[in-house]
Structure 1
Amino acid sequence: MNKPKNTSMIQSLQIGFQIVDLIAEQDHPLKFTDIQELSGITKSNLYKYLNTLTYLGLVYRDKKQGTYSLGSKLIEYGMLAIGSQDVIGTVTPYLRDISRHTSLSALVAVWTQDSPVIANISSSNATLNIGAQIGNRLPLHSATGRIFSAFQHEHEMKEWKQTALEKLPEAERTAFEEEEAKIQREHFAYTAEPLVKHVSSFSVPLLKYDSELVGALTVVGFSTDVPKTPHHETSRYVLQCAEEISESFGYRKQ
């Protein structure tokens, strides 16, 4: 975590946010010893930084597990920064309902300046590692990424999409484009194990009155439990939830 000193900056503030960045980069909560090992900060100083960050709500400490994760204040700042607070507030009750009804994890993702990010998650299985947490950016090849590719304004996601597609062989790019047309027709995207082995997901769009995308509603679980088509009972339930959410934003199905 050693960086060149800059006399025009407050070094302790830099270190504090480097700790926040370190926690954000992981796909699971960290113990004190994990953070100490990764950061190289002395134990006495790290205690002070973590206590301060926890007090400010920038970091959350699970007292039972003794682990640290991103705090609610960061989530609040993030939602205000991307202007999606209304979306999150509307979708969150549905996430809980979907998670309870399907016994799968449910999340909502919204578009930032350059990629989709997870804004909230409801999980029915605390032991399931879905490979992502609130604030994580999602790749094009994920089910969520495919929904944004199919429905987000082209000029907003052009660079993000182009960068990802350039890494694919021509045959895979062609297959992706053909699949995208199907996603636009069915309002449904499925991807097998995009981030974690044995964990798959499907995603559906959330639209507003002018048919523009406001977010993606995604269901994640063990590959054996996640439906691959929009015709499955679970898929139909989630699509109905998405339709109700979209209607609250003025969308009317054609």
Structure 2
Amino acid sequence: MRRRNDSATAAPEHGAPPGRTQRGIQSVEVGGRLLRALADARAPLGATDLAASGDIPSSQAHAYLVSLTRLGLIKRDALSGRYEPGPLALRLGLLHLAQQPALREAVPRAAALAHSLNCSVALCIAGPQGPTIVRYEHASLPLHVNLHVGTVMSLRATSTGRVFCAHLAPDALDDILARQTAQPVWRGTRGAAGASAAPPENPAPPAPDAAFLETLEAIRTRGYELGIDAPSPGVSSVCVPVLGPQRELGLSLTAIGASGALDVRPNGAVVRALRDAAAEIAAAAFHTTPTCPE
């Protein structure tokens, strides 16, 4: 009977002087290769593809997949048989995010906004598939919309998505657009928030949407975006970005409520409260000077 190799291996010691190593467990590192392969793929993978991507023989990978599934680091879809990140992986990812200064500053403010404005508030960051909710504060009044932690927002159809389109770097935006639309990517010109991006060497149709690019420039100018009765009828939203020292997007604050009840006026209470909160978060997280919204 072949004994599984769980022997210790030498690995560079984190933070140690060059040449100094510490012992590690080889089987843990092999399992880590499978997790890294799944993360790099950014999509569910079958056992054979996962083993090949992790450079592990299929016969050996099976035992690791069983253990990783038991731990909750991955899970297997019963219908497709493909593996994807599990609940423990999600918890670890959220724990990592919670240590980020901008999100740490934003969480208590999101709860306060939901209470004072009587609406739901979502905090989103840029995930591989698009703007992803990492914190969701529910309103006291019921809201008929299916939003929760992990929801990926549409780039074009939601106020949050359009804010991300307006502030993400062109290359990052191209990647996310390609995943969401499965269409050829485009690169729009940037306003004051970023440098202009040259078109790709072999541009493919469709051509850049001039009207959409104008919308993104308007978002950068006014500092917020609205979604009225869209994408869900009867539900409206206001989204404001939290920007770093170089005008890079840290995260977004989105207030969501019933149309008619949510104040979507440009100088209304919701827009003012979100912009004030975004300025406070940026000042605390990035040590920027708070600016008074116009």
Query: How far apart are 1:172 and its partner, in Å?
Result: 10
Query: How far apart are 1:13 and its partner, in Å?
Result: 5.1
Alignment correspondent of 1:102 = 117
Query: How far apart are 1:80 and its partner, in Å?
Result: 5.0
Tell me the number of residue pairs that the alignment of Structure 1 and Structure 2 aligns. 205
Q: Give 1:250's aligned amino acid.
A: H
Alignment correspondent of 1:225 = 261
Alignment correspondent of 1:118 = 133
Structure 1 regions of 5+ residues with no counterpart? 23-38, 41-52, 59-72
Deviations 1:39-88 (A, max 9, x none): 69xxxxxxxxxxxx9xxxx4xxxxxxxxxxxxxx5554123566863322
Matched, 1:159 2:175: yes
Task: Work out the CA distance in 1 between the residues paired with 2:47 and 2:166.
Answer: 43
Alignment correspondent of 1:242 = 278
Q: Give 1:78's aligned amino acid.
A: G
Matched, 1:251 2:288: yes
Query: How far apart are 1:206 and its partner, in Å?
Result: 0.3
Higher percent of residues as helix: 1
Mapping of residues 138-177 of structure 1, within 5 Å: 138-141=153-156, 142-161=158-177, 164=181, 173-177=209-213
Deviations 1:65-122 (A, max 9, x none): xxxxxxxx55541235668633222111111110011100001101124422111011
Query: How far apart are 1:174 and its partner, in Å?
Result: 3.0
Q: Give 2:277's aligned amino acid.
A: C
CA 1:230–1:156: 2 relative to 1, 3 Å: same
Matched, 1:189 2:204: no
Query: How far apart are 1:154 and its partner, in Å?
Result: 1.4
CA 1:4–1:92: 2 relative to 1, 3 Å: closer
Task: Work out the CA distance in 2 between the residues paired with 1:181 and 1:86.
Answer: 28
Task: Work out the CA distance in 2 between the residues paired with 1:195 and 1:17.
Answer: 34
Task: Work out the CA distance in 2 between the residues paired with 1:245 and 1:14.
Answer: 38
Task: Work out the CA distance in 2 between the residues paired with 1:235 and 1:157.
Answer: 25
CA 1:197–1:17: 2 relative to 1, 3 Å: farther
Indicate the SS of the match to 2:209: helix
Alignment correspondent of 1:29 = none
Higher RCO structure, 1 or 2 (CA under 8 Å, sep 6+): 1
Query: How far apart are 1:138 and its partner, in Å?
Result: 1.2
Indicate the SS of the match to 1:196: coil
RMSD: 3.5
The answer to whether the 8 Å contact 1:188/1:229 transfers is no
Task: Work out the CA distance in 2 between the residues paired with 1:139 and 1:149.
Answer: 10
CA 1:206–1:196: 2 relative to 1, 3 Å: same
Query: How far apart are 1:143 and its partner, in Å?
Result: 0.9
CA 1:223–1:174: 2 relative to 1, 3 Å: farther
Alignment correspondent of 2:10 = none
Deviations 1:3-33 (A, max 9, x none): 88975324475488699687xxxxxxxxxxx
Alignment correspondent of 2:40 = none
The answer to whether the 8 Å contact 2:72/2:89 transfers is no
Indicate the SS of the match to 1:110: strand
Normalising by structure 2, we get a TM-score of 0.59
Q: Give 1:178's aligned amino acid.
A: E
Task: Work out the CA distance in 1 between the residues paired with 2:220 and 2:261.
Answer: 24
Normalising by structure 1, we get a TM-score of 0.67
Query: How far apart are 1:181 and its partner, in Å?
Result: 1.0
Query: How far apart are 1:211 and its partner, in Å?
Result: 1.8
Alignment correspondent of 2:105 = 90
Query: How far apart are 1:175 and its partner, in Å?
Result: 2.5
Query: How far apart are 1:186 and its partner, in Å?
Result: 0.7
